[in-house]
Structure 1
Amino acid sequence: MPARSRAIATLGAVAACGLFLAACSSSGSGTSGSSGGSSAGGSSTAAGGSSSASTGDNVLGTPKAAAGSPIVFGLLNIESGPVTFPEVRQAEEAAVKYVNAYKGGIGGHPIKIVSCATDGQPSTSQRCANQIADQNPVAILGGADTGAPGAIPVWARKNLAYLGGVPFTPVEQNYANAAIFSSISTGDNAAASVYAAKTLKAKSAAVIYTSDTQGTASGKIIINTMTNAGISKITKIALPPTSSDVSSAVATAMGAHPDVIYVDAPAACPGVLASLKQLGNTAKIFGVDPCTAPKAIQGANGGADGLYFAGPTLDAFAGTPETALYLAALKKYAPSIALDSLAAIGFQTVINVQTALGSFTTADLTTAKILAAFKTGKATHNFMGHDYTCDGKQLAGATAICNAYEQIRQVKGSKIVAVSPDFVTAGSYYKP
């Protein structure tokens, strides 16, 4: 998924097993399940939105407060420039408040996040990383930062573990000291591409992608995976990131008469989808998570109806015990947060870290022992997601990714439903 426009980032939130993607779903995850009829309307744009599940303090459990000297973790997150993702930091900070108040932190000590805002430029991320490193964190919590290639060398020099987060670039996806629990920008686009080919039987496609660095990279993932999965004719359409006129791109896509149109241009989604509907498009449509944000759906004027997309976590309103806890914690600690998949990954990051390290003493918090807690090579429960297995084999060309499974969803009117209740993966069809 390319870097997204903050204005639309407010979503109220295979392995090769033959011809059917759903046949490769996992039975190992304790949280996989249908998201049912989760609302995509305005009530689900923030943590205070309505839900069928209880979001009271009883969902959070019995308080168990941490005390004493804090355990410091670093965090870099892109929060200035043309695109920002503050919801990742906000979700991680909310999760820290929750585990400090209800889970006893780590070894009874409270977790403390020291963060630095980046702007997507590697030079800025490098400067931020040096500032964080000076504060002697025990490890780094992954954020959402397209400038991560500037920070990772700093973490490597300091021999720091990098845990979770939103892995936008190959640099953090292959950092030797990383354990990343969800795949965004690669696993999601690849899984959706395989679904189009193998489940929907598409033979031709048009891919509209943003022509910046991140968009070109994710567009390549989609195109290559579609080709590997059997889509023989693909029309590639690059859309300048600052373009306000999508008519030419839409005309080119429809003129190719494809079975599938894949919209990988987050900021342009409403305009593209509205134009497709207005011109009478009959191809099936796919998009990325920001295309399903309430504002994007509203702006598409009905054009988002039927859109398929992939997400690495359960929808916030799936109605499971973990999504109920997620909503309750955010309602208590970050009530105005945008509930998109990036926020869910941020929250997931902290919960997984506290689960793995919660019984550690401060003396145990060495990089070697921290990494050993995650790199067991065994399937491990992943909060609101498919089980993670840190064995370097879950996603081709991305040894730090511990889970490449996604849930395929579809926009139906004002709701988002799971069309693949279990998590699925592109498996061998994705080749970097």
Structure 2
Amino acid sequence: MIRFGRVLAAGCVALVMVLAGCTSQRGGDSAGDGTGSGTPAAGPTGQPLLLGYVTQENSSVGSFPETRVAAEAAAAYANADLDGVKGRPVKLVTCATNGSPESSQGCANKLVAQHPVAVIGGIDVGAEAAMDVYKNAGIPYVSGSPQLNGELNSPNSFSLTGGTAAELIGITDYLTSVKKVHSVHALYVDLSGLLSIAINYSKQILNKKGVTDVTLTSEKADAADFAPALSNAAKGNPDAIVVVFQAQACARIVQAASALNIKTPMYLIGSCASPAVAKAANGHTDNLVFASGYLPATDGDKDPAAAAFAKRVPAEQRTSGSEGSFSAVLVVRNLLETLPDPTPAALTTALRATTEYPNVMAHPFTCDGKQINLLPSICNSAVRLLTWNGKGFTDLTGNWVDGRKLLDLVS
């Protein structure tokens, strides 16, 4: 069995799963309305309910301050519009990591010492080192945009979307089931040993789905110039190019694609679903498709939570990752609202008992540990495919895409 989570931890998320054909499953609509029915007469005044929050900032390996901004916006919205949790204000205690395991573990210890009812995870490449700290403290770790091994298979971790893993298999479902592609080329972040894994497994699965041409091109995340690697990925006029990088590199990649006048459809993972990436293409976005676990939020959105996200989070910070943090805070708030005693243990029990529970801006989730056997912390593997209209992201297909069943082909 491919150890998908280990590849995820290196930032490349099992290229095997990018190129694995799958069957789609349409899920329900986003139902995240916060359960509120208008602004309360007065703000919450009871004893605060603490939620820990951790994400990566000011790091050369990736910085995601927009995720914290969104989490803080969600807490403010919960208190201003939803009366907190039964009259108790939601208080966010934040900690920023630098991408190292040591900093993630340090943040975990700092947050646990505050005795939060849960810890919300943003984006943190060192998160695996922190999982045992949360588990030993009996505190659930809830993420809206998981990336790493520990987040995806720890017993106290609950991933409300499937993150990069689900995005990649969703892309492949669309390519094989809808587009009926015969050639897929991939440009992915260089990781020792990944190329041989991808060749040995992804080609086998793609061949089963009728994809006869698979070309894999790797490049360093901090490459001085992405043009040579991108040109190589575009050779032979493939039906699609799949891009597996984080947002900072994706911006440079789409900029290079624009300069090279590459017209081939390019499919990018959710970490690249950022206005900064789309704008870097210099108006050449017709061939760009982004996978995300979240529906795009717009000003005046009919969904109250989505409208609150659009109102409270600046447009340039409305990314898939920031949606994940906003969503996770509100989902935890909604679950706590249902509990007689909002403790970490009670919340953990409630999470494990969820079945098609209304998500926020995302597909409903079920945290029974059985959605993806390889990655039992994933509660929801459905994604949407998005395009950029010059002002924001828009839904491409109108359907949820769920490729989890295809993972049986690599067992």
Is the pair's TM-score, using the shorter chain for normalization, greater than 0.5?
yes
Structure 1's 227 and 373: CA in aligned 2 closer, same or farther, altered over 3 A? farther
How much identity, in percent, do the aligned residues show? 27
Match of 1:263 in 2: 243
Say if 2:241 is the partner of 1:240.
no
Unaligned runs of 5+ in 1: 5-17, 33-57
d(CA) in 2 for partners of 1:331 and 1:316? 10
Q: 1:341 and 2:323 equivalent?
A: no
Q: Which amino acid aligns with 2:43?
A: A
1:72 aligns with 2:50: yes
Q: Give me the whole-angstrom Cα distance separating, in 2, the residues matched to 1:163 and 1:273.
A: 32
Provide TM-score, normalisation by structure 1: 0.79
Which residues in structure 2 correspond to 1:382-397 (within 5 Å)? 382-397=359-374
Give the direction of change, closer, same or farther, for the CA distance of 1:62–1:329 in structure 2 (3 Å limit).
farther
1:190, 1:319 → 2: CA distance?
A: 31
Q: How does 1:42-57 map to 2 (within 5 A)?
A: none
Between the aligned partners of 1:169 and 1:351, the Cα distance in structure 2 is 22
Larger deviation, residues 258-267 vs 90-99: 258-267
Q: Distance in 2 between matches of 1:59 and 1:217?
A: 54
In structure 2, the residue corresponding to 1:371 is in which secondary structure?
helix
Instruction: Give, in whole Å, the separation in 2 of the partners of 1:338 and 1:245.
Output: 26
1:234 partner SS: strand
1:111 shift after superposition = 1.6
**Equivalent position amino acid for 2:185 in 1:** A
2:149 alignment partner AA: P
Aligned position for 1:210: 189
Q: Does 1:29 align with 2:9?
A: no
Determine the structure 2 residue equivalent to 1:161: 140
Q: Answer whether contact 1:2 1:185 (CA < 8 A) is retained.
A: no
Range 224-233 or range 307-316, more displaced: 224-233
Task: Report the CA distance between 1:136 and its aligned residue.
Answer: 1.6
Q: Measure how far apart 1:244 and its partner are.
A: 2.2
Q: 1:286 to 1:74 in 2, by over 3 A?
A: same
Structure 2 residue 158 is the aligned partner of structure 1 residue 179? yes
Aligned alpha-carbon RMSD (Å): 3.3
Q: Secondary structure at the match of 1:429?
A: helix
The superposition leaves residues 102-130 of structure 1 with CA deviations (integer Å, 9 ceiling, x where unpaired) of 22222321121212110111111111111
Partner of 2:5: none
Kept in 1, the 8 Å contact 2:146–2:159? The answer is yes
Partner in structure 1 of residue 233 of structure 2: 253
Equivalent position amino acid for 1:295 in 2: A
Structure 1 stretch displaced more, 187-196 or 409-418 = 409-418
> How many Å apart are 1:59 and its aligned residue?
9.3
Distance in 2 between residues matched to 1:360 and 1:19, nearest whole Å: 38
Q: Give the 3-state SS of the residue equivalent to 2:53 in structure 1.
A: strand
How far is the alpha carbon of 1:315 from its aligned partner?
A: 0.2
Secondary structure, counterpart of 2:75 in structure 1: helix
Match of 2:356 in 1: 379
Contact 1:181 1:403 in 2 (8 A): yes
Tell me the equivalent position of 2:14.
Answer: none
CA drift of 1:248 comes to 1.7
Structure 2: distance between partners of 1:175 and 1:243: 33
Cα distance in 2, alignment partners of residues 263 and 351 from structure 1: 31
Listed as ranges, the matches of 1:6-405 within 5 Å are 21=24, 24-26=25-27, 28-31=28-31, 61-82=39-60, 83-211=62-190, 223=202, 229-265=209-245, 266-279=247-260, 281-289=262-270, 291-317=272-298, 320-322=301-303, 325-328=305-308, 331-332=311-312, 334-335=313-314, 338-361=317-340, 364-405=341-382
* Gaps in structure 2 of 5+ consecutive residues: 1-7, 12-20
Post-superposition CA distance 1:83-112 (Å, at most 9, x none): 111111211111111112222222321121
Q: Is the 8 A contact 1:73 1:112 kept in 2?
A: yes
Rounded Cα–Cα distance in structure 2 between residues aligned with 1:331 and 1:320 = 10
Task: Using the TM superposition, give the Cα deviation of residue 233 of structure 1 relative to its aligned residue in structure 2, in angstroms.
Answer: 2.3
Letter in 2 for 1:394: Q
How many angstroms apart in 1 are the aligned matches of 2:207 and 2:92? 43
- Change in CA separation of 1:169 and 1:261 when aligned onto 2, cut-off 3 Å: same
C-alpha separation between the residues in 2 aligned to 1:346 and 1:429?
28
Does the Cα contact within 8 Å between 2:108 and 2:134 map onto a contact in 1? yes
Alpha-carbon distance, 1:226 to partner: 5.0
- 2:375 partner amino acid: A
1:390 Cα shift? 1.1
- Cα deviations by residue, 1:313-345 (Å, 9 ceiling, x for unpaired): 1101286422x543435635x547600111111
Residue 93 to residue 277, structure 1, CA distance change in 2 (3 Å): closer
What TM-score do the two structures reach when normalised by structure 2?
0.83
Code of the aligned partner of 1:238: S
Q: How many residues align?
A: 387
**Structure 1 residues 425, 95: closer, same or farther in 2, change over 3 A?**
same
- The amino acid of 2:29's aligned partner reads S
Deviation at 1:193, TM superposition (A): 1.5
SS in 1 for 2:394: strand
1:194 maps to amino acid: D
Q: Give the drift of 1:249.
A: 0.8
